[in-house]
Structure 1
């Protein structure tokens, strides 16, 4: 019989489309287990293993550039890959006691995301490392004992345990309002749920096997390539990471491709325009502004100043970046508050939907209209979402008890903060947590770090420099970020659970367990990097750029603008206003122009600000990832859509996981055997002449 590949492909696409339309009909005959059976021993073991992997990934990204993509989809994919691989073997051997369900897959994803979320909100690469003497020495100002704190695993773990769980209880009572009444989309949570559902449908399993196989191949390639690169890094500025792709002059201005498969993978996940904005920011800063300001050396700032001094060129880099970040953050906070208020008023004014609930037996699974399918899906999902209630009094009591523990404990860890500072933070935090969770449901954009930055300015100014205002501001940032970030993460996962029929109670318990894992693993993983590498040194592989930026914000809060170098304040104000103006222009264009969609090309100030301090090398990596995605989509759009998450996850995980043996070798004193360094022709001639004589 003659095979017709194009016809077969058409049939497969029709089957996939049919699955998408039917929704919950594909799972009508599958039993949904109770919430206690959705949380299994194997799901927790798998979550723990993947949490270690993702903590290394997030920690590495935090310490290098701070650009972290959404990992919900990758966590769901890897969770399926790990469990399905060994349950398939157990099933063949006749030893499988409980099938692997989409609810269990969702529990794993929730636990992993909660744990890796702590790696971000813990501030090990931002507000916590900003307290260290290493970062304080770079800033020079405020480098006093009361404004620094030596890092240690003990107090970092203790601090995370007393502040990280409060946010979970702050948002639980609002889950029905957010998911059922307002029907917020939570794009990342929805995308993850659709992916998990597709894995567990009979037809979707075939695609999942191909995705898992490709993920494993990319993982092995990325790990092997990272190992290969290690052999050429025997000294400073050695190896492929310093390859002068566009010439030595461009390399001096931080423009080169550093062969990082991690950021190529990140670029494949991030939207095209985000990567372009990063590159535009690098060109504006390192290509135009910093060379111009450097030409003013001896006029605007002292010629004898160190390159690391905040009174020199670094001061312009840090504070102009801060101005853009604060301008963008302030706009989004105000916009989200207004948007949330208007939306709540609109929801209040609408009449409640009085349509009757349609029973299960009213449908024939083989003859449903699209509207009936939507009604059936919603009815079935609502039923399971409301089945396992989390009492409001439990959530409220939990918030109060944990807040009291934190109010008592945190001042012992940070003596610069008093109990009433923490109390004020916990009185304000639930409002901000609601706004962040609501805004995240509308836009998929969490503003947790922006609320933390505002907290730095408020509390550092309140306490003052002489009383440890730098540490107080940074610590208050941790309190605020922990609440606001975990609240939005939990609501994202509730949305995923709603669409996969996972019990809210199982989701909450897995979130708590994942948070506990993160509170232990995040400091341990950070400490691993901290002891193995020169973390925080601008010239190292792990410069921790946000440590300097966050400390700069705290100094700005306690010292005011008098500490800035000449014309730095003027430039900062210009860029602060420009960030707000750019956002307003984009919003107006998005609302009023319809034909050309010019708003897509208006840059994001937040994205542009990130390379101001770091340079353009990582944005070039990410643009390469975008180019691969673009070419793949041109060749076969559906295949690109299906397999890009697997390829990206493999590239990110492989190189990031190489960080473990690399750090072990470094701690053991094992150095690479070769130094591959690039010199100009004149410098090479001088070296040859020196060696000859």
Structure 2
């Protein structure tokens, strides 16, 4: 094809500027969401819709390839945030850091993210090009459809303008509700109730969170239902079944339920995630081998072997890949040495970091291609890395605080690489469909990592000083990884019986999923969302499930494509609004600015008001998506 030989406008000053702007916003939003709920969202589709709305609605121009660069950069920064917040806060939780250090946090983010990008380059041909019929990369395909629709000649710029209004409306509503709960305290951030029945604890509750409602809408009913199912297993079955204990006189039923879940029940999710992580590696072993072969052959490939230039096959230059790889290795070697104070342990740690990154990048890319980014087993991957690394260090005689730091240091980089690779895979799939240049996307991914990485440490520090990591912001994954690491090195006891129960439940879930596959069911019991649901508080899973249910009802009553764009933008606004408001509140707290404009209501009244407000918000999400879609349809 002739157009394959001719350059197109992709990596421009405008696309980079817009991409970095969205990347920084989505990175900050995901830092907040990940610490609060233990979940993040892929920025690709929201960024694609926002970019299309900007180019079409504001600039009044079609720009398919520049919009693709924008969403590529936004998703690179967003995924990087997930890798950091799942791991680095563990260093604060174990007491090694009192606050988030700028350069160590930033360098871990940059090096982990860049390794995720460059390791995906040889895997692009193996997983995205050669397996195009086996791996669908659903978010990548959906993102391509959004971009293609916005570039069609009959696409209305008025629709794009309405899309921008949808996002801004969601942002306003999300920020107001968060300010009412987290700032003024006029409403409750969560509605909870617990009681004892025959000495067994029972718990119900939900978070009044616009962001979680928006996340549920974006990921859809399948994923949100699986997370909720995990919550049901953990809170409605395991919590009352495993614990029959007399209640202390000074402990409420609510505190009793939370104490049992914190110390025992959530480790069932750990066992399930552990199975998911190791099975993920086994499932892509052939792809890992092929990726190594492709990586090796790329070093011997020269320009003279090419008969003509085909930009659709144009990956980043091998020399540039090698330079980035070497820089990342020596930067991390220097960082590990500064943290551990032992050159030999640091060198060994850096080697393990590299050896673990490539296969888990392949795992991440393969899984998101198979079942989507929402099912990326990053938690399972990180647990597998933690346990494998800890066992190696124990066998070699390394122990104590240096071994704990080294284990978490490896897990942090690998987690960043895996998170980045998963989202970058979707972006490269989008590029393949719309016939973008892979090399341009790969450089956009690198740029989209560098700038947002600088903002992560200050954002973490701000939120930590305002709310407290592990307290106001639960940081579920980081808390888990800190506990596992300390447990292996003898500083903390782990409830291994609960972990084994989780392993058993995981294999039971896999068994029932096999039955669903054999029956040709569209509904699947993917292990990782269920495992995450067991580990997370069910109060987080409830608004997620409701958001997914709203999307199902909207799409059932209206053309799926017409409703999805508006609902996605409005939901993205809810997420960004709550996150931005949370960060603003954190700034005010850090400046000792009091928000003491509190209205004195009884606790029961506040709970009722909060519940009603959440129901109203759910109705607004449903009607807004439905009505806006109808207006576009009839217009």
How would you bin the TM-score normalised by the shorter chain? 0.7 to 0.9
For 2:556 and 2:357, the matched residues in 1 are separated by 46
What's the secondary structure of 2:470's corresponding residue?
coil
Q: Tell me what 1:623 maps to.
A: 545
Cα distance change on mapping 1:679 and 1:253 into 2, 3 Å: farther
1:447 is the counterpart of 2:377 = yes
Q: Aligned pair 1:170/2:119, yes or no? A: yes
CA contact (8 A) 1:255 1:615 kept: no
With over 3 angstroms needed to count, the CA separation of the structure-2 counterparts of 1:415 and 1:453, relative to structure 1, is farther
Partner of 1:585 in structure 2?
Answer: 512
Match status 1:514 vs 2:448: yes
The alpha-carbon distance between structure 1 residues 463 and 676, as it changes in their structure 2 partners (threshold 3 A), is: farther
- 1:158 aligned partner: 107
- Secondary structure at the aligned position of 1:670 is classed as coil
**Residues 417-448 of structure 1 deviation map (CA, whole Å, 9 limit, x = unaligned):** 42022113313432332343234333334334
SS in 1 for 2:205: coil
Partner of residue 68, structure 1: 40
The equivalent position to 1:127 in structure 2, one of 87, 96, 107, is 87
2:530 aligned residue (581, 604, 608): 608
SS of structure 1 residue aligned to 2:204 = coil
Q: Is the 8 A contact 1:71 1:113 kept in 2?
A: yes
- Match of residue 421, structure 1, among 345, 349, 369: 349
Alignment length (residue pairs)? 569
- Rate the CA distance shift 1:577–1:109 in 2: closer, same or farther, 3 A: same
Normalised TM-score (structure 1):
0.73
Q: TM-score, normalised by structure 2?
A: 0.80
Q: Give the 3-state SS of the residue equivalent to 1:165 in structure 2.
A: helix
- Cα drift, residue 150 of structure 1: 5.0
Deviations 1:345-379 (A, max 9, x none): 9xxxxxxxxxxxxxxxxxxxxxxxxxxxxxxxxxx
Deviates more, 1:60-69 or 1:150-159: 150-159
User: C-alpha distance in 1, partners of 2:435/2:35?
Assistant: 37
List per-residue Cα deviations over 1:258-296 (Å, max 9, x = no partner).
331111111111231322233333233233433454533
1:187 aligns with 2:138: yes
Aligned to 2:391: 461
Give the conservation status (yes or no) of the 8 Å contact 2:184–2:595.
no
Larger Rg: 1
Kindly report which structure 2 residues correspond to 1:276-675, keeping only aligned pairs within 5 A, or say none: 276-296=225-245, 314-337=262-285, 383-386=310-313, 388-415=314-341, 417-444=345-372, 445-464=375-394, 465-466=399-400, 468-537=402-471, 540=472, 542-559=473-490, 563-564=493-494, 568-590=495-517, 592-594=518-520, 597=521, 600=523, 603-638=525-560, 639-668=562-591, 669-674=593-598
Give the aligned partner of residue 357 of structure 1: none
Q: Structure 2 CA distance, aligned partners of 1:231 and 1:558?
A: 40
Q: Which residue of 2 aligns with 1:224?
A: 176
Unaligned ranges ≥5, structure 1 = 1-23, 89-98, 137-142, 346-381, 682-693
- Contact 2:238 2:265 survives alignment (8 Å): no
Partners in 1 of 2:419 and 2:332 — Cα distance? 17
Q: Deviations over 1:579-632 (max 9, x none)?
A: 023113313430x224xx2x72x6444333334454222211122212322332
Instruction: Judge which range, 651-660 or 634-643, deviates more.
Output: 634-643
Deviation at 1:208, TM superposition (A): 3.4
Q: Quickly say closer, same or farther: Cα 1:83–1:436, change in 2 above 3 A.
A: same
Q: Distance in 1 between matches of 2:603 and 2:209?
A: 22
Listed as ranges, the gaps of 5+ residues in structure 2 are 294-308, 606-635
Report the Cα distance in structure 1 between the residues aligned to 2:419 and 2:72, rounded to whole angstroms: 14
Give the corresponding residue for 1:686.
Answer: none
Q: Counterparts of 1:282 and 1:490 in 2: how far apart (Å)?
A: 30
- Could you tell me how far apart the structure 2 residues matched to 1:287 and 1:415 are? 47
CA distance in 1, matches of 2:104, 2:290: 42
> Shift of the alpha carbon at 1:32?
10
Q: Give the 3 Å change call, closer, same or farther, for CA 672–176 of structure 1 in structure 2.
A: same
Q: Does 1:261 align with 2:221?
A: no
